[in-house]
Amino acid sequence: MLTGSQIRRKFLDYFVQKGHKEVHSSSLVPQNDPTLLFTNAGMNQFKDVFLGLEKRDYTRATSSQKCVRAGGKHNDLENVGFTNRHHTFFEMLGNFSFGDYFKKDAIAYAWELITSKDWFGIDKDKLYVTIFKGEAGIDRDAEAYDLWVAQGVDKSRIYEMGLKDNFWQMGDTGPCGPCSEIHYDMGPAASDQGHADCAFACDCGRYVEIWNLVFMQFDRDASGKLNPLPKPSIDTGRGRLSPHKQKRTLYQRRAEVMWGQPPRLSVPGKARHKGAPLLVWRRALLPVRPSKARLALPPTNQPHP
């Protein structure tokens, strides 16, 4: 069984041997971005590179970025403590292309890394992928669909979602594009709602998103028009790992998938404390204690486990 550190290393090694520069995690407090309180994604430190405002001596990068999601657009705060798969503080693994490779390679890399016996060797029968179905005048991502099929993904395992799930944008204007997600079936035991036999994409916790591939393809102007980017880019964020390493690390998503076990936040007894720092922190932030939370909470003054 791989440890969290080994999984992180393997991910970075894969992309390094594909010509990516390994870039260190940036500060949790963004250096040059007043729009963000905390770093919340691997792409933050590359924002100006994606926008063409900054040049670096590489066009492919990979990182394991420490992230906090406690506010802003993409936070899951209201779910933390209530599900066994949402965290506020985690590491996000990612690979990035700045006008270098695009969908074809991004999809091929992701699929090889996840399923190849030489890498993570995850069973294909446990995986589902999604593509953008086309909505609000924006075309369906037929290219991504064909590329997943070309990788050997069974058509019955490719699902098409709308703007909310499968279209990414940095803001009201600027870079945006469709995305493709890879989901893993944790099995009925992972269902928060006791579902014995539900199908993808049931939201009960059984099907967990482990990787999101963002295809930065357009530049949205002030009138809302989508103009093709001259050099489309790739931004991916994969499986998250809580960086509490003092004791046994709390693994989330990716590590759980590697272990073939449901997430650990709901494990009773001592093991529950592996999730405690995040839950305690949530309580400190929220004025109302979620007393009916299904996860029992330790006292707030309890020392960091």
Binding region for Zn ion (CB under 5 A): 191, 195, 198, 202, 204, 206
Q: Given the complex with Zn ion, which of 205 and 232 has the nearer CB atom?
A: 205
Q: Given the complex with Zn ion, which of 250 and 257 has the nearer CB atom?
A: 257
Q: Given the complex with Zn ion, which of 85 and 206 has the nearer CB atom?
A: 206
CA-to-CA distance for 174 and 164, rounded, in angstroms? 17
In whole angstroms, the minimum distance from the beta carbon of 164 to Zn ion comes to: 19
* Alpha-carbon distances of 280 from 87, 285, 301, rounded to whole Å: 12, 9, 9
Q: Given the complex with Zn ion, which of 77 and 198 has the nearer CB atom?
A: 198
In whole angstroms, the minimum distance from the beta carbon of 194 to Zn ion comes to: 9
In whole angstroms, the minimum distance from the beta carbon of 287 to Zn ion comes to: 32
Strand locations in the chain (E): 21-22, 60-68, 89-97, 127-132, 158-161, 167-169, 174-185, 207-220, 226-241
In whole angstroms, the minimum distance from the beta carbon of 196 to Zn ion comes to: 9
DSSP letter for each residue of 198-210: --TT-TTTTEEEE
Maximum Cα–Cα distance across the chain: 55
What letter does residue 83 receive in the DSSP assignment? B
What letter does residue 120 receive in the DSSP assignment? T
Q: Given the complex with Zn ion, which of 12 and 186 has the nearer CB atom?
A: 186
Contact in structure between 78 and 43 (CB atoms under 8 Å): no
In whole angstroms, the minimum distance from the beta carbon of 26 to Zn ion comes to: 37
